[in-house]
Amino acid sequence: MAFLSAFGAYVPDRVVTNAQVAELVGCEADWIRDVSGIEERRWAADDETVVTMGAAAGRDCLARAGVEPAQLDMIIVSCGAIPRRFPGPAAEIAKALGLDSTPAIDLPLASAGTLFGLAVAARMPGRTLVIGTEKMSTAVLDPIPDKNTTILFGDGAGACLVSQDSGRLRIVDSLIESDGSFTPDLQLGLNGTLQMNGRTVILQATRKVPRAILGVLSRNAVAPGDVSTFVMHQANLNLLERLAKGVGVPADRFFANIARYGNTSSASLLIAATEWLREMRLEAGQKICFAAFGAGFHWGAILAEVA
């Protein structure tokens, strides 16, 4: 039996408003809010990296759990915007946490990576720290800002401690899936900015995510209306509302903080979970559903219950 013991997050200090982005890419600030639900996002400073942000989120999570880094059995790090071919940031993050032999695995799955990481960690012994860390601003600003992507993305990191002994949320079941048919529709190459076919991404997400959510609920005899909160990867507020409709629940059941942070790719699920947990008063037996969709395409859902 696996538990989600604690969440943690780190976001840069620099706040970038829609007005600032609109001036950069040549559009209206109100249009950005209308098409995405985003009002501002955080962009990292030059000296902030996916390693420094990931380590900060990891420390925050471990502090909340009352666990020392030396007590970890594994680290899994998801990062889609890695700054080089290899190695990924996992080993450096482990070093930043003071570890020199704990296995650290890179999971380069943009947006859906931390959900996949949680599902994998639930099957591992001991304690696993799952981290999502992204500096998406570099992916959309270099070399030339693109209006359709620059308006969406922000920077930050989130973390979750998955433990086999105890925690606030017990993992009941998970369902993760992949389909490589749409690889060209959302990708970040070695050179150039992020490429995204927004229409295809939204169409596939609205088809695949509700099926995954309903699938994991159905095989555990849980009705959508019995789920207290759905915590999703924060891609687009309009998409969250469509997903809620597809699942058959009111939109306010889907936690949303995208207005403040934008889309932080694989970090967003755990940043959202950290904020959600701070705001909620949990009661034993409450059902929570985590879900994500990302490049690949990869998607899935995890059903958890308050212990």
What is the homologous superfamily of the domain 169-306 according to CATH?
Answer: Thiolase/Chalcone synthase (3.40.47.10)
Model confidence, pTM = 0.97
The neighbour count for residue 279, using CB atoms within 10 Å, is: 9
Q: Is the pLDDT of residue 73 over 80?
A: yes
pLDDT band at 193 (very low <50, low <70, confident <90, very high): confident
Q: Tens digits of per-residue pLDDT, 154-192?
A: 999 999 999 999 899 999 999 999 999 999 999 998 877
Going by pLDDT thresholds of 50, 70 and 90, the confidence category of residue 47 is very high
Q: Which residue has the tokens 């408003």?
A: 17
Cα distance between residue 130 and residue 161, in whole Å: 6
Homologous superfamily assigned to 3-163: Thiolase/Chalcone synthase (3.40.47.10)
3-state SS string for 113-168 = HHHHHHHHHCCCCCEEEEEEEEEHHHHHHCCCCCHHHHCCECEEEEEEEEECCCCC
Backbone angles phi, psi at 131, to 5 degrees: -130, 135
- 3 state DSSP class of 173: strand
Domains 3-163 and 169-306 share a fold: yes
Backbone torsions φ then ψ of 153, nearest 5 degrees: -100, 145
Q: Which residues contact 246 (CB under 8 A, 6 or more apart)?
A: 206, 209, 210
Domain positions in the chain: 3-163, 169-306
- Mean pLDDT lowest among 11-25, 66-80, 100-114, 181-195: 181-195
Tell me the pLDDT band of 101, cut-offs 50, 70 and 90.
Answer: very high
DSSP state of 234: -
Amino acid at 83: P
Helices (H), the chain: 18-25, 29-36, 50-65, 90-96, 113-121, 136-141, 147-150, 198-218, 237-247, 258-261, 268-279
Q: Over 80: is that where the pLDDT of 250 sits?
A: yes
Burial class (CB in 10 A: 0-12, 13-18, 19+), 96: middle
Which pLDDT score is estimated for 191?
A: 77
Contacts of 20 (CB under 8 A, 6+ apart): none
Q: Give the contacts of 225 (CB within 8 A, at least 6 positions apart).
A: 248, 249
> Which pLDDT does position 146 carry in this prediction?
85
